[in-house]
């Protein structure tokens, strides 16, 4: 009999029973020489993804390489004739492909242990699962081996591994990225997903990867919302939250709710029943027949070559008739109607990416039930045609990452990215498991720029108001949006002011030839809120006119010269973010 205590394997699992997964299992194949697009090398500097290395989940075709889907018997004998459409787009954009990654066999699983090539470890603790099915793709990003990777997402495979490895998992609106050349799991709901250490990189990849493909039956011409969520937004939180006894995950999610509220959000308890019931249809109805249909000829001839429990899950699809499928589809439509009614009161949903984290040993012992639990908040998203973005949220006291997922309606991809990037930078977390600090955030190009007119004002910040810094909320709560990173003209010096809480810098303009270019961010703020922002600025700081490196001028923070006599000159570091990073490195 399976009991609650049997199922709750957390950080205090008996070390004697732990299984440590092998990091080398993240790869199924590596290319001796990275694949780049012929003829692009000479002009690569002009390409949007030039200099970035990537990997793809091994259910995607790469010309000349076998596609295994983690099933050696399935692999094409002599390699695919052509690369998947999404791979071609990324190569055309200048990215370099370095290899193909491990996965739960036939993309059937959410934990990363269902592969004859071995279980992929968690990037922070090899005794714990990586999440699946895009397990290898998440691991090679989190460990810093590539700049980004591609996964697939049918029931959460592009989000769960992100949440469990402290990276970003972008699950686009269905049909936004072509799935031509991708082995289906459930073709009508499959999405190609993107893993990266930052939202900015994931968005950059999406910009190159997206586009209508008339040769893909499920590709769509989608118009994405091009205005950010308002400064005061409303987010839905499930009314019945389940963490399966994991108090650390529960505490981390409660902190996430508070952080979202601090960003201007209002939490609304949401009836989660229709979403949960929709999720149950994925494997508990004739909808599972689509998994069987995806590999039917191979499966009928080579069923014994498929590992358990993947074999049993796919075989279950044989029992359903076409009439059963129509019944299940009608049930899903009704649940979708119920869910649609709930969106009238919210801008987006906030859920845990995964409600708990299990050891490899416990997952191997109880593979079906624990895998199901990892999909508690992911399975319904593609079925109901939503976009989603998983971003890192916290490091638990046991050293494991915790992620949250922002879910929006179809076409909300840029909106989720803008909010998700702001959220991620507020956490202060490092990039994946690399220990590297987050770089400066970037504007989301898909969102319409808000011009600086008489109704708005642009202000430059150099210190504690930067993205991810302690006072950034003073900007965001006033509806300010990031215009972009920039630097001053080489006529300034930057000082670390003594005795300020939180720590703050002072920027001083000096004579020509005696200064440096100092990194800053330019923000665009509604003029009606600018006065209340300025009143928060205490001496010796104030607002003046800054000259930028491009010769333009903008309002920004300056400091009284008299206050700098005992301050530390940090101009040689080029900016406040670099100074804070140096302090953190010194402590470590």
Q: What is the 3-state secondary structure (H, E, C) of 41-69?
A: HHHHHHCCCCCCEEEEECCECEECECCCC
DSSP state of 133: S
Burial class (CB in 10 A: 0-12, 13-18, 19+), 555: middle
C-alpha 74/C-alpha 46 separation (Å) is 39
Q: Are 568 and 497 in contact (CB under 8 A)?
A: no
Structure tokens at 236: 């839905």
C-alpha 405/C-alpha 425 separation (Å) is 15
**DSSP β-bridge partners for residue 387:** 408
**DSSP β-bridge partners for residue 394:** 402
Tell me the three state secondary structure of residue 248. Answer: helix
Exactly one of 65, 83, 115, 133 is catalytic; which is it? 133
Beta strands in 202-335 (DSSP E): 233-238, 265-270
Q: Are strands 519-526 and 456-461 parallel, antiparallel or unpaired?
A: antiparallel
Q: Are 489 and 509 in contact (CB under 8 A)?
A: no
Q: Are 100 and 28 in contact (CB under 8 A)?
A: yes
For the question of residue 276 being annotated catalytic, the response is no
C-beta neighbour count of 443 within 10 angstroms: 18
CA 239 → CA 45, 232, 270, distances in Å? 49, 21, 5
The residue among 272, 274, 255 whose CA lies nearest residue 263 is 255
C-alpha 202/C-alpha 210 separation (Å) is 12
For the question of residue 157 being annotated catalytic, the response is yes
C-alpha 328/C-alpha 322 separation (Å) is 10
The helix-helix angle for 413-427 and 199-209 (nearest 10°) equals 160
The residue among 333, 351, 381, 152 whose CA lies nearest residue 241 is 351
Structure tokens at 128: 């714990």
C-alpha 164/C-alpha 346 separation (Å) is 27
C-alpha 169/C-alpha 184 separation (Å) is 20
DSSP state of 84: -
Structure tokens at 292: 């069987």
Q: Are 416 and 388 in contact (CB under 8 A)?
A: yes
The residue among 494, 498, 421, 475 whose CA lies nearest residue 168 is 421
Exactly one of 65, 83, 149, 157 is catalytic; which is it? 157
C-alpha 394/C-alpha 532 separation (Å) is 31
| Residues marked as catalytic | 57, 133, 157
């Amino acid at each position: 009999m399976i009991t609650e205590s049997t199922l709750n394997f957390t950080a205090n699992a008996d070390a004697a029973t732990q299984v440590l997964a092998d990091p080398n299992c993240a790869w199924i194949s590596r290319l001796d020489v990275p694949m780049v697009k012929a003829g692009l090398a000479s002009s690569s500097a002009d390409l949007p993804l030039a200099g970035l290395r990537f990997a793809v989940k091994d259910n995607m075709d790469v010309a000349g390489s076998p596609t295994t889907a983690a099933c050696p018997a399935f692999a094409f004998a002599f390699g695919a004739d052509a690369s998947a459409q999404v791979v071609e787009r990324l190569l055309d954009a200048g990215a370099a492909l370095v290899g193909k990654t491990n996965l739960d066999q036939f993309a059937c699983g959410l934990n990363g242990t269902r592969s004859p090539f071995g279980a992929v470890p968690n990037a922070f603790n090899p005794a714990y699962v990586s999440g699946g099915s895009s397990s290898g793709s998440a691991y090679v990003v989190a460990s810093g081996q590539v700049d980004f990777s591609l996964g697939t997402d049918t029931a959460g495979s592009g989000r769960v591994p992100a949440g469990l490895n402290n990276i970003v998992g972008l699950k686009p609106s269905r049909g936004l990225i072509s799935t031509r050349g991708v082995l289906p799991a459930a073709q009508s709901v499959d999405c190609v997903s993107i893993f990266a250490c930052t939202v900015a990189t994931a968005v950059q990849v999406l910009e190159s990867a997206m586009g209508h493909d008339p040769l893909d039956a499920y590709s769509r011409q989608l118009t994405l919302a091009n205005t950010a969520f308002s400064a005061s937004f409303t987010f839905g939180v499930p009314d019945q939250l389940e963490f399966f006894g994991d108090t650390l995950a529960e505490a981390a999610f409660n902190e996430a709710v508070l952080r979202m509220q601090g960003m201007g959000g209002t939490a609304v308890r949401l009836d989660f029943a229709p979403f949960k019931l929709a999720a149950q249809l994925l494997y508990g109805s004739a909808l599972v027949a689509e998994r069987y249909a995806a590999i039917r000829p191979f499966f009928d001839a080579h069923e014994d070559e498929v590992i358990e429990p993947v074999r049993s899950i796919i075989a279950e699809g044989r029992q359903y008739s076409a009439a059963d499928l129509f019944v299940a589809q009608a049930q899903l439509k009704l649940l979708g109607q119920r869910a649609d009614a709930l969106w009238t009161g919210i801008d987006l949903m906030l859920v845990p990416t995964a409600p708990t984290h299990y050891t490899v040993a416990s997952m191997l012992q109880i593979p079906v039930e624990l895998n199901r639990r990892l999909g508690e908040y992911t399975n319904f998203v593609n079925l109901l045609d939503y976009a989603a973005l998983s971003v890192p949220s916290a490091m638990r006291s046991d050293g494991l990452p915790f992620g949250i997922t922002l879910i929006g309606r179809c076409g909300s991809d840029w909106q989720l990215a803008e909010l998700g990037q702001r959220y991620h930078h507020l956490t202060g977390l490092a990039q994946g498991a690399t220990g590297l600090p987050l770089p400066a955030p970037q504007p989301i190009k898909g969102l319409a720029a808000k011009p600086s007119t008489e109704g708005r004002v642009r202000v430059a910040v150099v210190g504690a108001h930067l993205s991810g810094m302690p006072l950034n909320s003073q900007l965001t709560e006033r509806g300010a949006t990031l215009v972009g990173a920039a630097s001053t003209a080489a006529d300034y010096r930057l000082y670390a002011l003594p005795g300020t809480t939180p720590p703050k810098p002072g920027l001083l303009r000096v004579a020509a030839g005696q200064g440096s270019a100092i990194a800053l961010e330019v923000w665009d703020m509604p003029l009606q809120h600018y006065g209340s922002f300025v009143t928060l600025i205490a001496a010796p700081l104030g607002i003046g006119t800054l000259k930028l490196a491009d010769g333009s001028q903008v309002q920004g923070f300056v400091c009284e010269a008299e206050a700098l006599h005992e301050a530390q000159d940090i101009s040689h570091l080029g900016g406040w973010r670099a100074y804070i990073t140096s302090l953190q490195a010194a402590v470590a």
